A and B are shown apart, each in its own frame.
Chain A
């Protein structure tokens, strides 16, 4: 068993041979943050008394949801056989929406700790990330966590892990992040098994950005892994994708608080501060080089973040529009994947069409806007981006159903995903039924162990963005897990369904659906609105239509009585106050033609009942 390192290797003067760069691949709830905390403690970089549970998850939302949205890197010293090593733990985002960020974090490492809950086994996203790590030729250290739990089945899941990565179940480490058991052995194994980074110290500097975080006081903090050469403070650097140049105001390592250094050399991991205020100027995946002695080729793997899911965000109170605009501007500083543009809805007023990486990204962004900026928001049903080709060959990209072209359409293409679902084999039938009903095409199925299967489907993205995961969870009694990645597009028979109140189209309720599902959508939405919209002084027909063809209808009966019977001397003040309150309430109504629709009806019609749990993918 190793002691804590007596002397820590000094940044900028560390031989790559004593550097070990690794990340932890784990599903949420499988204890990654707790294990990371324990490592910080055992290596002495955080004193026990300073331990905050889950030290690395800084944002409140992250801590509450137990997920890591943004990754970070921590340098820890560890001594083995008389040598002090520098261990860089690169934290990876644990969610499907952030696959690209995960891939860059993996690219910054030589090895990965595959951490799996000994009571639950591997989950779909972990498996996806494991495959990604294996494709990147990372050395994998399989670890079962929470072995202190009574429900732990270490033999079963050790066998599962061993068969996945092709090793011996005996080599699967067993730890408990909670008690600390096995953690020192894990640190030793990281030093022993992981290869040291290799690079050319004399070549022009090349460092890969794997994370970029906006800090109110310091501006953008960029996390890099140096591949070749060396970066020094005060020199000018260049971002190779944009050719933008900056002065390196500060360079250093996190341990875990930022600690300036004299530079970063081959294989080292640390942070850069250039004073820029927008993470878009420091993009994940980009290569940093020295302006005076620039590299000729950038590191491979860079890609622009591409939004996949779009939703309209509208302030409940129209006067909050400037607040929402400023809030989005601020969030953008810290979120290179977030894109938005102003949008107007006849029903909802002024708002923004916002593009997200996925549903969790949407939920988190919305929650941050509501919590940090005290906004009440309506978000429209999430949409994907359709490519519509008209008969005159004109091509239109549609992210909002109300922009769907009305002219003659030759072809509509929709984005596709390849999805991986892991679940106990008893649920295979239910999962296939669900995927089939979502226009899925099965790609294959494999047994991970004797009772757990991996099912692969190709599905339209539009079919999984709304309630797919909720239904998957309920059909598998919570055991099913899902991962997906973009997988091209396909031509599909899609139509736009409009919803009309008293003949007036309500843009917020329009939807693009497959022709076979248009009727079901129409019936669902008209039925929902009939329940949600209060009776008016006249009958209100609610119709669903494809073009001019009505496919579903409902009607709200006219209200017959709206009068307080009694109004005598002692009632007048009370009645006047009630009237003032009702007038105030009327202001919160959105007018659709002559129909008063409460804001709550919009919110309720546009959300599913389970939307709150949905974020916990």
Chain B
């Protein structure tokens, strides 16, 4: 999650949700995000809400964190119930960070167990954790699988040492195939995360990273262009001229190469930065974000969304632990989206998916969107056949210009 929280309305200290959150809730999937705010080292490009082991103490310390997170799970279950929401089992759970596997596997299992106790798991539920290739062992992975985890997403980032060094990643590339093998042996589905466009990375470097990742036959790949966020070490290095600037044309070339190689390996894109081997192996938790489902985010700085009500927790782990310790909602702010804003978000998010955006639904936002369709086809940004069937689906060129497409279909 981004380092700076949005500006919103104040959130009530009891966390109770307004009536709007209830509408249609029974038809929406419900998921849980668990933020683990710890890393062994802070990567130069990362602006996530994460801390190294020695930075925090008290209820925010690594040792106490599982207990604090469980406290929020219990708080969440009470709030949803008291707000009048129907009981829904968890369709998806996602542990992200930070580096979730920096906590003992037993801690992750303990949090998941508490969540299952509170809501139960839907049949076929997807339970993922992010992991650093060098913070897992066969035993820890097995323990996670036994606790109910079904999927692990490894932060591989690159197979090229000089690129990993710029990113401040500590793992050695050779750890990755080993970790993938252990995960498979534990019965977990495997996703690999890659980053492209790191300063100093050549097109050949990127090709090598892609080919290496694909040689491990993952079920799923996420490939993100490096975003230089304000306030990161990398941003400062670029500003000082120590590291070359990010080049969008280079990013475009690398995205096209990624799509080509990953597709050739038998995976298909289902979101701008995500590819899966089969539609079932797409990350359903992330799809829930893009489709506007309900989820509760556990942890400092975590965002939640229930029926058009979105809120975010206080950012600092100590403040977070203190609030829960006092029986108060850890939310720092919330926003209640009106139907217009929800429509805008839906367009913004669904346009990124290969399942596409229903063109007729754009009418709710005025005529701009439907009128833009012909121009988007002419510019080669959306698929003509899909458009003819009533669905706006980005072409490869369109995926690279997805934000521009969204601006063209939303009313001024």
> How far apart are A556's CB and chain B's nearest CB, in angstroms?
13
> Is A571 within 8 A of B348, CB to CB?
no
Question: Cβ of B53 < 8 Å from any Cβ of A?
Answer: no
Question: Cβ of A410 < 8 Å from any Cβ of B?
Answer: no
Question: Cβ of B151 < 8 Å from any Cβ of A?
Answer: no
Question: Cβ of B407 < 8 Å from any Cβ of A?
Answer: yes
> Is A569 within 8 A of B1, CB to CB?
yes
> Is B248 within 8 A of A559, CB to CB?
yes
Q: Which B residues, 269 to 303, have Cβ-Cβ distances below 8 Å to chain A?
A: 272-273, 286, 289-290, 295, 297, 301-303
> Is B302 within 8 A of A570, CB to CB?
yes
Question: What string of 1s and 0s marks CB contacts (under 8 Å) between B260-272 and chain A?
Answer: 0000000000001
Q: State A565–B290 Cα separation when bound (angstroms).
A: 14
Select the residue from B349, B399, B401, B412 with max chain A CB neighbours within 10 A: B401
Contacts of A568 in B (CB 8 A): 1, 286, 289
> Is A561 within 8 A of B400, CB to CB?
yes
> Is B402 within 8 A of A563, CB to CB?
yes
Contacts of A559 in B (CB 8 A): 248, 401, 404
Contacts of B220 in A (CB 8 A): none
Contacts of B252 in A (CB 8 A): 560-561
> Is A564 within 8 A of B305, CB to CB?
no
> Is B272 within 8 A of A565, CB to CB?
yes
Contacts of B4 in A (CB 8 A): 574
> Is B348 within 8 A of A570, CB to CB?
no
Contacts of B290 in A (CB 8 A): 567
> Is B1 within 8 A of A566, CB to CB?
no
Q: How many residues of A contact B (CB 8 A)?
A: 26
Contacts of B248 in A (CB 8 A): 559-562
| Given A572-B310, A572-B345, A582-B407, CB of A567 within 8 Å of CB of B352 | yes
Contacts of B205 in A (CB 8 A): none
Contacts of B160 in A (CB 8 A): none
> How far apart are B412's CB and chain A's nearest CB, in angstroms?
6
| Given A537-B401, A563-B399, A572-B345, CB of A583 within 8 Å of CB of B407 | yes
Q: State A577–B379 Cα separation when bound (angstroms).
A: 26
Question: Cβ of B231 < 8 Å from any Cβ of A?
Answer: no
Question: What string of 1s and 0s marks CB contacts (under 8 Å) between A47-68 and chain B?
Answer: 0000000000000000000000
| Given A572-B289, A573-B310, CB of A562 within 8 Å of CB of B341 | no
Question: Cβ of A234 < 8 Å from any Cβ of B?
Answer: no
> Is B407 within 8 A of A586, CB to CB?
yes
Q: How many residues of B contact A (CB 8 A)?
A: 47
> Is A576 within 8 A of B381, CB to CB?
no
Q: Which B residues, 308 to 345, have Cβ-Cβ distances below 8 Å to chain A?
A: 310, 312, 335, 341, 344-345
> How far apart are B253's CB and chain A's nearest CB, in angstroms?
8
> Is B400 within 8 A of A562, CB to CB?
yes
Q: Which A residues, 573 to 592, have Cβ-Cβ distances below 8 Å to chain B?
A: 573-577, 579, 582-583, 586-587
Q: Which B residues, 339 to 388, have Cβ-Cβ distances below 8 Å to chain A?
A: 341, 344-345, 348-349, 352, 379, 381
Contact partner of B6 (CB less than 8 A), chosen from A569, A573, A582, A586, is: A573
Contacts of A560 in B (CB 8 A): 248-249, 252-253, 400-401
Q: Which B residues, 222 to 273, have Cβ-Cβ distances below 8 Å to chain A?
A: 224-225, 227, 248-249, 251-253, 255, 272-273
User: What is the chain B residue whose CB lies nearest that of A538?
Assistant: B379
Q: State A587–B412 Cα separation when bound (angstroms).
A: 7
Main secondary structure of the interface of B (DSSP, over half): mixed
User: What is the chain B residue whose CB lies nearest that of A557?
Assistant: B249
Contact partner of B227 (CB less than 8 A), chosen from A566, A569, A577, is: A566
> How far apart are A364's CB and chain B's nearest CB, in angstroms?
37
Question: What string of 1s and 0s marks CB contacts (under 8 Å) between A173-204 and chain B?
Answer: 00000000000000000000000000000000
Question: Cβ of B410 < 8 Å from any Cβ of A?
Answer: yes
Question: Cβ of B406 < 8 Å from any Cβ of A?
Answer: yes
Question: Cβ of B403 < 8 Å from any Cβ of A?
Answer: yes
Q: State A582–B58 Cα separation when bound (angstroms).
A: 42
Q: Which A residues, 519 to 573, have Cβ-Cβ distances below 8 Å to chain B?
A: 537-538, 559-573
Question: Cβ of B95 < 8 Å from any Cβ of A?
Answer: no
Q: State A563–B224 Cα separation when bound (angstroms).
A: 11
Question: What string of 1s and 0s marks CB contacts (under 8 Å) between B40-53 and chain A?
Answer: 00000000000000
> Is A564 within 8 A of B289, CB to CB?
no
> Is A569 within 8 A of B272, CB to CB?
no
> How far apart are A576's CB and chain B's nearest CB, in angstroms?
6
> How far apart are B122's CB and chain A's nearest CB, in angstroms?
19
Question: Cβ of B10 < 8 Å from any Cβ of A?
Answer: no
Contact partner of A567 (CB less than 8 A), chosen from B297, B349, B407, is: B349
Q: State A582–B251 Cα separation when bound (angstroms).
A: 21
> Is B348 within 8 A of A579, CB to CB?
yes
Contacts of A562 in B (CB 8 A): 248, 400-404
Contacts of A572 in B (CB 8 A): 289, 303, 305, 310, 345, 348-349
Question: What string of 1s and 0s marks CB contacts (under 8 Å) between A592-609 and chain B?
Answer: 000000000000000000
User: What is the chain B residue whose CB lies nearest that of A573?
Assistant: B6
Question: Cβ of B2 < 8 Å from any Cβ of A?
Answer: yes
> Is A570 within 8 A of B407, CB to CB?
no
> How far apart are A253's CB and chain B's nearest CB, in angstroms?
61
Select the residue from A570, A571, A572 with max chain B CB neighbours within 10 A: A570
> Is B341 within 8 A of A576, CB to CB?
yes
> Is B402 within 8 A of A571, CB to CB?
no
Select the residue from A572, A586, A587 with max chain B CB neighbours within 10 A: A572
Select the residue from B249, B345, B403 with max chain A CB neighbours within 10 A: B403
Q: State A568–B286 Cα separation when bound (angstroms).
A: 7
> Is B401 within 8 A of A576, CB to CB?
no
Question: Cβ of B206 < 8 Å from any Cβ of A?
Answer: no
User: What is the chain A residue whose CB lies nearest that of B271?
Assistant: A567
Contact partner of A569 (CB less than 8 A), chosen from B297, B381, B404, is: B297
Contacts of B352 in A (CB 8 A): 567
Q: State A574–B303 Cα separation when bound (angstroms).
A: 11
> How far apart are B312's CB and chain A's nearest CB, in angstroms?
7
Contacts of A566 in B (CB 8 A): 224, 227, 273
Contact partner of B33 (CB less than 8 A), chosen from A537, A569, A583, is: A569
Q: State A2–B401 Cα separation when bound (angstroms).
A: 83
Q: State A575–B406 Cα separation when bound (angstroms).
A: 12
Contact partner of B303 (CB less than 8 A), chosen from A537, A538, A573, is: A573
Q: Which A residues, 387 to 431, have Cβ-Cβ distances below 8 Å to chain B?
A: none
> Is B381 within 8 A of A537, CB to CB?
yes
Contacts of B349 in A (CB 8 A): 567, 572
Q: State A583–B404 Cα separation when bound (angstroms).
A: 10
User: What is the chain A residue whose CB lies nearest that of B248?
Assistant: A561
Q: State A582–B403 Cα separation when bound (angstroms).
A: 10
User: What is the chain A residue whose CB lies nearest that of B247?
Assistant: A561
> Is B302 within 8 A of A563, CB to CB?
no
Q: State A575–B347 Cα separation when bound (angstroms).
A: 12
Contacts of A582 in B (CB 8 A): 403, 407
Q: State A586–B406 Cα separation when bound (angstroms).
A: 13
Contact partner of B404 (CB less than 8 A), chosen from A537, A573, A577, is: A537
> Is A561 within 8 A of B249, CB to CB?
yes
Contacts of B412 in A (CB 8 A): 583, 586-587
Q: A562-B401, A572-B305, A579-B406 are in contact. List 20 more A-B contacts (CB 8 A).
A: A560-B249, A562-B404, A563-B272, A563-B401, A563-B402, A565-B225, A566-B227, A567-B349, A567-B352, A569-B289, A569-B295, A570-B1, A570-B297, A570-B312, A572-B289, A574-B4, A579-B344, A579-B407, A583-B407, A583-B412
Interface pairs A-B: 8 shortest CB-CB = A570-B1, A560-B252, A563-B402, A565-B225, A561-B252, A570-B303, A565-B224, A562-B404
List, sorted by A's number, 26 A–B pairs whose CB atoms are closer than 8 Å. A538-B379, A559-B401, A559-B404, A560-B249, A561-B225, A561-B251, A561-B252, A561-B400, A562-B248, A562-B403, A563-B402, A566-B224, A567-B272, A567-B349, A568-B286, A569-B289, A569-B303, A569-B305, A570-B2, A571-B1, A572-B348, A574-B6, A576-B341, A579-B403, A582-B403, A583-B410
B interface residues, Cβ below 8 angstroms from A: 1-2, 4, 6, 8, 33, 224-225, 227, 248-249, 251-253, 255, 272-273, 286, 289-290, 295, 297, 301-303, 305, 310, 312, 335, 341, 344-345, 348-349, 352, 379, 381, 399-404, 406-407, 410, 412
